[in-house]
């Protein structure tokens, strides 16, 4: 992941090959980004917080206008390639309460598929996933790697509903 201080890859740059929790010590601002290999999640706040955006191989000469961000990239996380099965349990309420459904493939609308109007916790058993606030993989997103997520609200996603989920597969790389 190569980041530039000015739009269209001009000015100073910083190359990142792994997770970086605070990019401000390398670049005060970042307006363009080039992913040379792999996939990354970029965040508009330090420590992998705030708005997130998924970036795959390619050039993003003015990603801020593309994503609708007012701020720039403050942290980034490399997404490791996963080979194998994908499994995630989603729950209607926090702490794995309410209705539960197990996903092994993408779900473009939890309301249509499961008659579930909210997802407030989940357990990712296998694979890496993106959750979206709107159906059809639209709106703000959140990256999830294997682990238990007991409360999206406690993770800073208060008031946000997740309505679709997508696997990060080999085709993303």
Per-residue pLDDT of the chain (173 residues; tens, 9 = 90+): 555 544 566 777 888 888 999 988 887 777 778 888 889 999 888 999 888 989 888 888 766 555 565 667 889 999 999 989 999 999 999 999 999 999 999 999 999 999 998 899 999 999 999 999 999 999 989 999 999 999 998 888 777 889 999 999 977 65
Run of H or E including 110: helix 110-114
Output the pTM of the full model.
Answer: 0.85
The pLDDT assigned to 5 comes to 45
- Report which of 71, 33, 70 is spatially closest to residue 54, judged by C-alpha positions: 33
| 97 Cβ contact list (under 8 Å, min separation 6) | 91, 121
Return the pLDDT at 105: 96
- Which residues lie closer than 8 Å to 164 by C-beta, 6 or more apart? 106, 107, 108, 109, 110, 131, 132, 134, 135, 136, 137, 138
> What domains, with CATH codes, occur in the chain?
2-79 (2.60.20.10), 87-172 (2.60.20.10)
Closest CA to 51 of 110, 169, 132, 170: 132
């Amino acid at each position: 992941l190569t980041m530039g201080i000015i739009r269209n890859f001009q000015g100073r740059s910083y190359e990142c090959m792994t997770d970086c929790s605070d990019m401000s010590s390398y670049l005060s601002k970042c307006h363009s980004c080039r992913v040379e290999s792999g996939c990354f999640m970029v965040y508009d706040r330090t420590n992998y917080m705030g708005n997130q955006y998924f970036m795959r191989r390619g050039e993003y000469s003015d990603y801020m206008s593309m994503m609708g961000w007012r701020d720039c990239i403050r942290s980034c996380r490399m997404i490791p390639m996963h080979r194998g099965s994908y499994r995630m349990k989603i729950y209607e309420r926090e702490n794995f309460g309410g209705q539960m459904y197990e996903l092994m493939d993408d779900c473009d609308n939890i309301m249509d598929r499961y008659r579930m109007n909210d997802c407030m916790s989940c357990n990712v058993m296998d694979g890496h996933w993106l959750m979206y606030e709107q159906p059809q993989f639209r709106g703000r997103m959140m990256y999830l790697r294997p682990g238990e997520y007991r409360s999206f609200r406690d993770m800073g996603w208060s008031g946000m509903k997740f309505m679709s989920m997508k696997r990060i597969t080999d085709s993303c790389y």
